[in-house]
Amino acid sequence: MHDILPEQTPVWQHIEDTARAVCEAYGYREIRLPLVERTELFRRSIGEVTDIVEKEMYTFEDQGGDSLTLRPEGTAGCVRAGIENGLLGNQVHRLWYAGPMFRRERPQKGRYRQFHQVGVEAFGLEGPDVDAELILMNARLWRRLGVGGLRLELNSLGTPQARARYREDLVAYLERRGEDLDADSRRRLHTNPLRILDSKNPAMTEVIAEAPALIDYLDEASRAHFEELRGLLDDAGVGYEINPRLVRGLDYYTRTVFEWVTDELGAQGTVCAGGRYDGLVEQLGGKPTPATGFALGMERLVALLGLTARPEAEPPHAYLVMVGDTAVREGFFLAERLRDALPGLRLHVHCGGGSFKAQLRRADKSDAQVALILGEQEVADGTVAVKPLRDGAQQQVIEASRLHEWLSALMRGERAAAD
């Protein structure tokens, strides 16, 4: 679990702001969900025999004897909230959320025990058009962030019935190959055989390559749904690869599944993943409601963006230096008046006293454009000395009552330069 330090937060904020803008541009509205849910919710939605539920959840009993779990993902809580608050009904609901998730995985680069997702869920729409919309939102976000080199992998898992037939054939095949299976796969053979296809063990590559493919088992309606989605993506000019081995690590998926993958981050290359989960709302006690969504991993996106652009924190416009007790008192009022007059002004007020020289050194270190200097003389005269710190210009004396005009011009100049 990591601290996100002040030097890193500008990149986080940049991604969060851009993601929020994209979500809102497509009509998705934010929902804020608890970090803790009843353990039962995750068991029933993610699935008993998944890695997450079997060994990665932070589960505890509270004082009242309820078993609670720190959320390992956001979809289950979002569905729970939708049912509980009557949001889903027959209406269309497009929602997004952001925040920390918790999985007790083996930590490595790109894989943490507290990590952050931005997730998007759309309820009440069963067509492939909304799946395509989600993927186009992803593509737009990558463009806006300037992230390149992400590959879209796509598959369809069909209906639970089709998957059950496939599962039988897959188990029969894997049993025939029993001697070639590694320990992990043997353990999964009768609990979660589809996950064997996800194995990263090179010794399993051949067994997996020769296994029957789920896509050959799709029912007619799922096949048509998948074809239509592919057509929409083709028309929109979004490239993708069909990956028949893409099964995802959570049990609730039906039909469309997808992942955005990069080769630049080593083993943890999936930056964003999602798919359709048409059965989950009903399974959790709601009316039958088709649904689809995705979640992107903030840490992985930050790592990718760190390789390209890194937005810096904005330095202050001004740093207020105050020498003498009266100046400190006056200075605090002056600073508040300036902030009232100039929303958007970044003003650092010196705290902790010290000599004039020491305060000026601080001002310089803050990267502020100017130091505002207030001593006994300035207070008596109703003025402030303004000392430019960056361009070698002359110090000047300005009436305190007109200082906001001067700073306003400085901020306009900054905006003009930015344009």
Q: Measured from the CB atom, is 199 or 383 closer to ligand HAM?
A: 199
Determine which residue in the list 128, 275, 279, 290 makes contact with ligand HAM, applying CB under 6 A.
275
Q: What is the DSSP string of 193-240?
A: GGGGGG---GGGHHHHHTS--GGGG--HHHHHHHHHHHHHHHHHT---
**How many other β-carbons are positioned within 10 Å of the β-carbon of residue 70?**
19
Looking at the chain, the number of H-run helices and the number of E-run strands are: 15, 16
Residue 36: alpha-carbon gap to chain centroid? 18
In whole angstroms, the minimum distance from the beta carbon of 296 to ligand HAM comes to 6
Please tell me the total number of residues recorded for the chain in this structure.
Answer: 419
Q: Is 96 a binder of ligand HAM (CB under 6 A)?
A: no
Determine which residue in the list 128, 293, 331, 375 makes contact with ligand HAM, applying CB under 6 A.
293
Cβ contact 284:80 at 8 Å: yes
Q: CA of 231: how far to CAs of 4, 107, 133, 238, in Å? A: 41, 39, 13, 10
Q: Is 367 a binder of ligand HAM (CB under 6 A)?
A: no
In whole angstroms, the minimum distance from the beta carbon of 216 to ligand HAM comes to 24
**Closest CA relative to residue 135, chosen from 224, 30, 223, 230:** 230
Cβ contact 74:295 at 8 Å: yes
**Residue 7 CB burial class (10 angstroms; 0-12, 13-18, ≥19):** exposed
> Rule CB under 6 A: which of 296-325 touch ligand HAM?
297, 299-300
The residue type found at 258 is: F
Determine which residue in the list 270, 283, 326, 366 makes contact with ligand HAM, applying CB under 6 A.
270
Q: Is 111 a binder of ligand HAM (CB under 6 A)?
A: yes
Q: Measured from the CB atom, is 105 or 182 closer to ligand HAM?
A: 105
In whole angstroms, the minimum distance from the beta carbon of 370 to ligand HAM comes to 42
> Rule CB under 6 A: which of 199-258 touch ligand HAM?
249
Q: Which stretch binds ligand HAM (CB under 6 A): 37-45, 186-194, 212-220, 290-298?
A: 290-298
Q: Which stretch binds ligand HAM (CB under 6 A): 73-81, 201-209, 322-330, 375-383?
A: 73-81
Q: What is the CA radius of gyration of the chain?
A: 28
In whole angstroms, the minimum distance from the beta carbon of 33 to ligand HAM comes to 12
Determine which residue in the list 28, 115, 217, 226 makes contact with ligand HAM, applying CB under 6 A.
115
Q: Measured from the CB atom, is 103 or 317 closer to ligand HAM?
A: 103
Determine which residue in the list 117, 256, 359, 369 makes contact with ligand HAM, applying CB under 6 A.
117
Cβ contact 394:345 at 8 Å: no
In whole angstroms, the minimum distance from the beta carbon of 241 to ligand HAM comes to 16
Determine which residue in the list 23, 57, 71, 73 makes contact with ligand HAM, applying CB under 6 A.
73
Q: Is 273 a binder of ligand HAM (CB under 6 A)?
A: yes
**Closest CA relative to residue 206, chosen from 189, 187, 191, 185:** 185
Q: Measured from the CB atom, is 154 or 322 closer to ligand HAM?
A: 154
Q: What is the largest CA-CA distance in the chain?
A: 94
Which residues contribute to the site for ligand HAM (CB under 6 A)? 73-75, 103, 105, 111-112, 115, 117, 119, 121, 249, 270-275, 293-295, 297, 299-300
